[in-house]
Every structure is written in structure tokens, then in C-alpha cells.
Amino acid sequence: MRLSGAEVIDGGAAARLTWEVGGTARFHALWLRDNALDAETRSPRNGQRLVTILDIPAAPVIADLAVTAHGALRVRFAPDGAGADGEAAGGKTVEFPAGWLHARRYDRPIDRRPGRVDEGVETFDAVLSGAVTRADFAEISADRGALAAWLAGVRRHGVAILAGVPREPGSVCRVAELFGYVRETNYGRLFEVRAEVNPTNLAYTNLGLQAHTDNPYRDPVPTLQLLMCLDNTVEGGESTVVDGFRIAERLRDESPDLFDALTTFPARFEYAGEAGVRLSSRRPVIELAPDGRLQAVRFNNRSAAAVTDVPFDDMPRYYASLRRFAEILEDPAMAVSFRLAPGELFIVDNTRVLHARTAFSGSGERWLQGCYADKDGLLSTLAAIEEDAA
Ligand code: FE2
């Protein structure tokens, strides 16, 4: 990518650039100086910044701009403290590749609608049934490209299935180690999901479980959950996933007022089901980033605590929002269901996709093992493989 033009504007406080592919964007002198790519500003070894905000002038001035023979931008700054025309020699000169600037242009319309999702994220409903990203354990263990394709499914839809996982206790952790690290909790490095006589958690019974995100009483929550089937010969016990971001979108489109209640007021979650554990958190059911982007959904009837952060006059609207969220959640048009066979596993983005299971009965065995991991590690591994392949 090449630049076709560059001009100094605003008395040297900014630049206006034009690319050969079309498009124009302005950049502040301060931004350009702060993001200089030279060896004094950024370590050539690891790319980390060597200066602080206090090491750069508060109001740098562009003395001179040029498009190089390669179509890159060359910027000469006036010496610190000098104006554009009061400068003689010695201003810092830096270069920026045209494509680097194009990818980082900020002088463009920015979508600020609340409840939108990141680029590359696609919300889903029941239409995804049968089309959830699937892969085979042996294949993604041996082939980085296949691993990336599977991880990309998690990034896009927040859920993926893996088959052919060795039917041995602990295999679920080996899957997490393909892209990141197991996150250990009070439930252990991994946890057993099978009916127990005196369960410390309702997950360890044969009851059906309403769709939920796991462990909302932690802050931060585990951002990924993996559940692997070792045995499944019972009647029932199907797994279902629902996209919490799609629920949030529906709620927003139906009633901005109800959406607002779940994004504005903190809910409370707690777990105190075993000795020595008193976990609690205070976070909204639908969490937005400061710019309105959907950040996380937390929903779990078993660990919801009394809500005490909603003003008296707003409490009826808050409950109406929660009820509507749950109604949308129960809409069959939202659910993707599958039955895990032994040796199969599913992974969910626990900040987004809710999971459920139907009740089960019969004389058979249903034995799952689960573990938590974190999404930043998954996205990092995926980005690194994609960069290598580019
Ligand atoms: Fe769960």
C-alpha cells in the first residue's frame, strides 16, 4: 500500500494523508510523535515502547512532510519547543509505512451504537444448529492451520465442538493446552460433572440446568469453559448453547429501556457452597465497554444473589428486564442443541455463550469433565498463527 499525498494542516498540528487505493484521513502531530516507530521510541527487539507520555512534547509541530519513493510517510518534527518556521535543524524525523497508517486511521465515522459486537464476531441463533465449527483432536494437535480454523470458530461464534479426544480422565486439560493455559479454581484444575450423592454444586446432580454462564461470582470470570464427555449412556442430558450477545441484541431492539436496565445496574452473584469459599461479584447481566460494545453477559439463576444496587423506583423495570432476558433465552429459536458422544468436547466463550443441559435419567452413566481457560490466550495463539501464515 502506498500514499499518494501528504499535507501539513492546522499550522503543523496535524497532517492530511491520501492513499493510492483511495481515502483520506487526518492524523494529529501528537499522535504521530507518540506512535513513532523509530528505535528511540520502540524497542526494535520486542516492539515495546521505550518512552512515556512525559518524554514527548505536549504539542509537537510538524515541520515538514514527504511521501518517500516507496510510498511511505516521512515526518520531520520541529525541534521541541520551536514553531514550524522557527526551526533550523535537528527536529526528529520518522517514517511510517502507508499500510500501517491506513490500518490505524482514526479520522473516520465510528459506530457508537450500544450493544454492537466486534468485527469478526457473529451472533447466532438456532440456525447455527448442525453448523457449529467442528474439528478432530488429532488433526488440530498436528496441524497449526487446522488448530487456527477451530479457534477461529470460537472467536466468531463463541462455541466449537471437538471430536476424537482421548477418552481418558484429564484429556480436557490437554485440549486447553493446545492454545493456552488451564485456569485453576476452587473446583480444581478440572472438575467432574456427574451425579453425586451430596453435591457441592447443582451441576453435580441429574437436574436439568437452565442455560447459564459459569461462575459469574468470580471477577474476572473464567472466559472459556471446556466440557468433555467420557461417558453418556443416560436418557436425556443433551447440551444446549444460546448466544447471550444475540439475546442482548434482541432485548435492545425490542426495548431500549429494558436493555438499559441490565447494562446500567450491577447484579450480584455469590457462591458459598463449600467450606472456606465465599465468592461474590457485583457486575451487570449485560456489560458494555465504555464505547457501548458488548463486553460480557453473566446469567446464572443458581448463583444470582439479592440485587441491592437498583434504586427502589427502578426495581420493577429491572425485574421486567431480567424476566424478558430469560424469556428470550428460553425461546427455542435461540437454542443450538447437540448430544455429546464419548470422546467429544465443546468449548464456549463464557463471557458470551450460555450453556444448559436437559435433565437425565435411566440406569446409564453420564460422566463429563470440565476445565476453564482464558480467551486472551486463545486469541493470542490464533493471532500468532494467522500472522505467521500471512
Ligand atoms: Fe455450567
Quick: pLDDT tens for 293-317: 999 999 999 999 999 999 999 999 9
Residue 98 shares a structural domain with residue 152:
no
Ligand 1 midpoint to CA 41 (Å): 46
The C-alpha cell at 73 is: 510517510
Residue 287 shares a structural domain with residue 358:
yes
CATH of the domain at 16: 3.30.2020.30
Residue 84 shares a structural domain with residue 163:
no
pLDDT tens for residues 328-385?
A: 999 999 999 999 999 999 999 999 999 998 887 777 788 999 999 999 999 999 999 9
Ligand 1 midpoint to CA 186 (Å): 15
Residue 77 shares a structural domain with residue 223:
no
pTM summary value: 0.92
Q: Which of 34, 69, 103 is the last residue of a domain?
A: 103
- What is the model's pLDDT at position 196? 63
Residue 81 shares a structural domain with residue 156:
no
Ligand 1 midpoint to CA 89 (Å): 65
Average pLDDT over residues 218-234: 95
- What is the model's pLDDT at position 360? 79
CA–CA dist 230, 209 (Å, integer): 19
Q: Which of 71, 103, 135 is the last residue of a domain?
A: 103
Percentage of the chain modeled with pLDDT above 70: 96
Residue 43 shares a structural domain with residue 186:
no
Residue 70 shares a structural domain with residue 132:
no
CATH of the domain at 341: 3.60.130.10
- Structural domain contains residue 108: no
- What is the model's pLDDT at position 89? 52
Ligand 1 midpoint to CA 326 (Å): 16
- Structural domain contains residue 109: no
Residue 264 shares a structural domain with residue 161:
yes
Give yes or no for residue 151 having a pLDDT over 90.
Answer: yes
Residue 152 shares a structural domain with residue 299:
yes
Residue 36 shares a structural domain with residue 136:
no
For residue 379, what are the contacts with CB-CB under 8 A and spacing of at least 6?
151, 155
**Alpha helices for 129-231 (secondary structure H):** 137-142, 144-157, 171-176
Ligand 1 midpoint to CA 213 (Å): 6
- What is the model's pLDDT at position 242? 98
Range of the domain at 97: 3-103
Ligand 1 midpoint to CA 60 (Å): 53
Average pLDDT over residues 91-109: 95
Q: What is the mean pLDDT of the chain?
A: 93
Compare 85 and 230 and report the one with higher pLDDT. 230
Ligand 1 midpoint to CA 144 (Å): 29
- What is the model's pLDDT at position 194? 82
CA–CA dist 6, 75 (Å, integer): 10
**Alpha helices for the chain (secondary structure H):** 29-34, 98-103, 137-142, 144-157, 171-176, 244-254, 256-264, 315-330, 375-389
The C-alpha cell at 212 is: 447459564
Q: Give Cα separations from 357 to 78, 111, 209, 338, 348 (angstroms).
A: 65, 37, 5, 10, 14
- What is the model's pLDDT at position 86? 45
The C-alpha cell at 149 is: 480454523
pLDDT tens for residues 39-92?
A: 999 999 999 999 999 999 999 999 999 999 999 999 999 987 554 444 445 689
- What is the model's pLDDT at position 365? 82
Ligand 1 midpoint to CA 63 (Å): 60
Residue 188 shares a structural domain with residue 328:
yes
Number of domains in the chain: 2
